[in-house]
Structure 1
Amino acid sequence: MTKLETEMLKGTLEGIILASLSGRPAYGYEITARLREQGFSDIAEGTVYALLLRMEKRGLVDVEKVPSEKGPPRKMHSLNTRGRKYLEEFWKTWSFLTERLEQLRKGEGK
């Protein structure tokens, strides 16, 4: 991944994780695996876990500790109402930005 790709991904990764959770709850490792399956192969688990903790503190996700057969309980993350509203705003902002960028790319922003 190039430096530019990494920087652009940093600004959108929170929304990407919330979008991943919009379908169904998941553990941090499962979220990382989903993202990798979708082509985000360079995303580190530690980055996902750090963002999940931040989103939990901001009240965007609910966390339920689920017993694990192998070790301590695992944290199951699910998108709550506040997180859904944030995700909706993320998609609106994404649409706005992509439309403007496409105009600039086509030379219509002059």
Structure 2
Amino acid sequence: MYAIKERQAWINRIPVKTFERETTDANTAVRVEVGTTGYRGGNARQHGGRTYLGLECLTGDFCFLPITNEKKKVVGIEIATCGDAGLNAISKALDFARATISDQCRNVND
């Protein structure tokens, strides 16, 4: 079993409960932190939910780069990894992120 740490992120002065764990495979490790307020009934910044996702390479062959638009504004990220261990580590991290967000949304709506 793996250890999960509860943390908190702030998005536009709104607290978001996050959960963090490390995913590993062979000589590769990724720290993932994820959380959400769940749905808040709006699509605008003022009324909608907040979601946080952070990925950090601890060991292994990863490349994290911003994606920018024509005005040089960061509008996304790209993640590249090499090796089967990198594939497994990022897959585990994304699975954890999806499951955590789904659980938090379900708990808010229950």
**TM-score scaled by length of structure 2:** 0.36
**TM-score scaled by length of structure 1:** 0.36
Q: 1 or 2, which has the higher helix percentage?
A: 1
Q: 1 or 2, which has the higher strand percentage?
A: 2
